[in-house]
């Protein structure tokens, strides 16, 4: 797509991040965006390299801080399509506080987390979503903690859109990210994106065999928060699809009249734009 840069990814062959990124690029194209109206903000980690591999405006943020940067970009220029990307370590450990607040602010942007349940770039330490008992270099006798459930964290924080996808299911992944982009507010997608080098438990085969696709569950209604809660807290199953969408979601900028008129900010006046952002933060 137009969104592919000429840089060759240095991800390990077979890494789930390839599929995750391809779906993001297709979803952006399918929703009528172009590289010059798109801004990708990435965190730190293997996933953090994505801004280099995509052809758009991009910023490689500080560890765990991609969301506040993305929020600032969107508020400073509401015309941009803002997509924030990161990993499970970046987003749910050091960035967990930012995640909760970005969710409840409901700024109109998309957050894609490449969840491989391990720290890949730093060579295989337990991450916030690693399973209990998972043996890694930092948990040689197995992790002693239950994993964070990012979907539950999002729901409890007042999320207006919660989805989960799988990097290897190209069509469904693209479709799910597309729905997150189209959502009016903060579109959160947790993507299972296997790390083939350091995680031999949460593999492609595991996700292929175990994920339940909500598109095949006739009586599932994503606008029903109670049903979403049950699915998200289901200890026996993991779901793929849109788990929850508040169809009455009103994004932050609209609630506070920020979309109103940016035309009084002269071109090349970043200080004025920053004042506006500060005023509302």
Contact 247, 276 (CB under 8 A): no
Q: Which of 196, 212, 262, 277 binds ligand SF4 (CB under 6 A)?
A: 196
CB of 152 to ligand SF4, least distance (A): 24
Would you tell me how many other CB atoms lie within 10 Å of the CB of residue 121? 16
Please state the φ and ψ torsions of residue 272, each to the nearest 5 degrees: -60, -40
Tell me, residue by residue from 44 to 73, as one string, x for binding to ligand SF4 by CB under 6 A and - for no binding: --x---------------------------
Which residue in the set 33, 38, 56, 116 belongs to the binding site for ligand SF4 (CB under 6 A)?
Answer: 116
The yes or no reply on residue 120 touching ligand SF4 (CB under 6 A) is yes
162 binds ligand SF4 (CB under 6 A): no
Task: Note whether 207 binds ligand SF4 by CB under 6 A.
Answer: no
Given 53, 111, 161, 198, the residue binding ligand SF4 (CB under 6 A): 198
User: How many residues appear in the chain?
Assistant: 281
Mask of contacts with ligand SF4, 14-33, x by CB under 6 A? -x-x----------------
User: Which part of the chain contacts ligand SF4 (CB under 6 A), choosing from 7-15, 99-107, 215-223, 229-237?
Assistant: 7-15
Does residue 12 bind ligand SF4 (CB under 6 A)? yes
Quickly count: other Cβ atoms within 10 Å of residue 140's Cβ: 7
- What does DSSP say about strands 161-166 and 238-245: parallel, antiparallel, or unpaired? antiparallel
Distance between CA atoms of 159 and 182, rounded to whole angstroms?
A: 15
Task: Name the segment binding ligand SF4 (CB under 6 A); options: 10-18, 26-34, 52-60, 144-152.
Answer: 10-18
DSSP state of 216: G
For CA atoms 94, 96, 101, 105, the dihedral sign is positive
Residue 260 and residue 48: Cα distance in Å, rounded?
Answer: 33
Q: Are 118 and 124 in contact, with CB atoms under 8 Å apart?
A: yes
- Per CB under 6 A, 192 contacts ligand SF4: no
Residue 280 tokens read as 């509302």
Q: Does 156 bind ligand SF4 (CB under 6 A)?
A: no
**Dihedral in degrees, nearest 10, Cα atoms 23, 42, 67, 20:** 20
How many residues make contact with ligand SF4 (CB under 6 A)?
12
Considering the complex, what minimum distance in angstroms separates the CB of residue 52 from ligand SF4? 13
- Taking the complex as a whole, the smallest distance from the CB of residue 197 to ligand SF4 amounts, in Å, to 4
Task: Based on the shown chain and the rule CB under 6 A, indicate whether residue 202 belongs to the binding site for ligand SF4.
Answer: no
C-beta atoms surrounding 247 within 10 Å: 10
Is residue 239 within 8 A of residue 214, CB to CB? The reply is yes
Enumerate binding residues for ligand SF4 (CB under 6 A).
Answer: 11-12, 15, 17, 46, 116, 120-121, 195-198
């Amino acid at each position: 797509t137009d969104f592919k840069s000429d840089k060759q990814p240095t991800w390990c062959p077979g890494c789930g991040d390839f599929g995750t990124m391809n779906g993001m690029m297709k979803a952006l194209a399918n929703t009528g965006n172009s590289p010059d109206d798109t801004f990708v903000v990435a965190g730190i980690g293997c996933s953090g390299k994505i801004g280099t591999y995509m052809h758009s405006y991009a910023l490689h943020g500080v560890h765990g801080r991609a969301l506040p940067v993305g929020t600032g970009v969107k508020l400073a220029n509401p015309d941009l399509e803002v997509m924030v990307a990161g990993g499970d370590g970046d987003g749910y450990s050091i960035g967990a506080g930012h995640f909760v607040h970005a969710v409840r602010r409901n700024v109109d942007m998309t957050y894609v987390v490449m969840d491989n349940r391990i720290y890949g770039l730093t060579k295989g330490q337990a991450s916030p979503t690693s399973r209990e008992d998972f043996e890694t270099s930092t948990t040689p006798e197995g992790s002693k903690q239950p994993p964070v459930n990012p979907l539950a964290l999002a729901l409890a924080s007042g999320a207006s859109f919660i989805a989960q996808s799988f990097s290897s299911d190209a069509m469904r992944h693209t479709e799910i990210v597309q729905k997150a982009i189209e959502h009016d507010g903060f579109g959160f997608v947790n993507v299972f994106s296997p790390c083939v080098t350091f995680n031999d438990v949460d593999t492609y085969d595991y996700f292929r065999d175990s994920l339940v696709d909500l598109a095949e569950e006739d009586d599932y209604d994503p606008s029903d928060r109670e049903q979403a809660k049950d699915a998200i807290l289901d200890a026996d199953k993991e779901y793929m699809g849109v788990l929850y969408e508040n169809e009455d979601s009103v994004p932050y900028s609209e609630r506070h009249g920020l979309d109103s008129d940016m035309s009084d900010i002269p071109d090349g006046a970043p200080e004025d734009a920053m004042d506006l952002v500060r005023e509302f933060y």
